[in-house]
A and B are shown apart, each in its own frame.
Chain A
């Protein structure tokens, strides 16, 4: 009853908001997180490591909110994911790791990208709903990783 809408999320926010979603996504996938100033790879690392870049779809990191050269670094099982803001303001994820194929790294980067998007939309939506006096009735995560939130408010 009512209206049903299907939406494609747009991830636009300040670096702290994006970083919060990245941290939540990392926790969900069991990755360790640290924030660093960007450095180039050493020559020997370039020679031995596969590297894949993916862009967080429909993303925009507000320029004034991110210090130059900052990146979030996530690690797990020899794979390193680096999250940065590219020159066009989009959020970029770079996956690298010794002993992994390009396909495996791309799969990991894309899985992480989707999780960041999911966490960002969850944080943004729930924050806005609470601002407008909606209360959570039920919230769960299904086996396939889908987040379901049911909120309610009473109107005079």
Chain B
């Protein structure tokens, strides 16, 4: 099983910082896109080394999962 972590920081002025950890490659971006839809407009985005690591074989399909929940 893979552990996926998300750290969210909501400042007093309302700015939001989201850090996705553990999910590799495209899985990482699936989380980022999903949270952007929930929260608002993306001002900045930085990919970290984990993004470039090989994806887990058991790739999540968050999009499908999200749509099936709607």
Q: Which residues in A have some Cβ–Cβ distance to B below 8 Å?
A: 1-10, 57-58, 114-115, 117-118, 121-122, 124-125, 128-129, 131-132, 134, 137, 144-156
Given contacts A114-B14, A154-B3, A155-B58, contact A5 B36 (CB under 8 A): yes
CB-CB under 8 A from A4, the residues of chain B are: 17-20, 45-46, 48
Contact of A1 among B36, B42, B50 (CB under 8 A): B50
Tell me the chain B residues, 55-70 only, with Cβ under 8 Å from chain A: 56, 58, 60, 62, 65-66, 69
Kindly state the separation between the CA atoms of A13 and B23 in the bound complex, as whole angstroms: 30
Residues on A with C-beta less than 8 A from B35 are 5, 7, 125
Residue of B14, B22, B49 ringed by the most chain A CB atoms within 10 A: B14
Determine which residue in B2, B7, B45, B60 has the highest number of CB atoms from chain A within 10 A of its CB, and name it: B7
Q: Report the interface size class on chain B.
A: 35 or more
**Closest-CB distance, A111 to chain B (whole angstroms):** 9
Contact (Cβ within 8 A) B3 A149: no
Q: Which residue of A lies closest to B9 (CB)?
A: A148
| Minimum Cβ distance to chain B for residue A130 (Å) | 12
Interface of A is mostly: mixed
- 21 CB-based A-B contacts, threshold 8 Å: A1-B48, A1-B49, A2-B21, A2-B24, A3-B28, A4-B46, A5-B35, A7-B16, A7-B43, A8-B15, A121-B14, A121-B16, A125-B38, A131-B69, A146-B9, A147-B9, A148-B10, A150-B5, A155-B4, A155-B58, A156-B1
Q: Which residues of B contact A121 (CB under 8 A)?
A: 10, 14, 16, 39-40
Shortest CB-to-CB span from B25 to chain A, Å, is 10
3 A-B pairs with least C-beta separation: A1-B50, A10-B40, A145-B12
Partner of A151, one of B5, B9, B39, B56: B5
**In the bound complex, CA of A122 to CA of B18 (Å):** 12
Which chain B residues border A10 with CB–CB below 8 Å? 39-41
> When chains A and B are docked, how far (Å) is the Cα of A154 from the Cα of B50?
17
From residue A67, how far is it (CB to closest CB) to chain B in Å? 27
CB-based nearest B residue for A131: B69
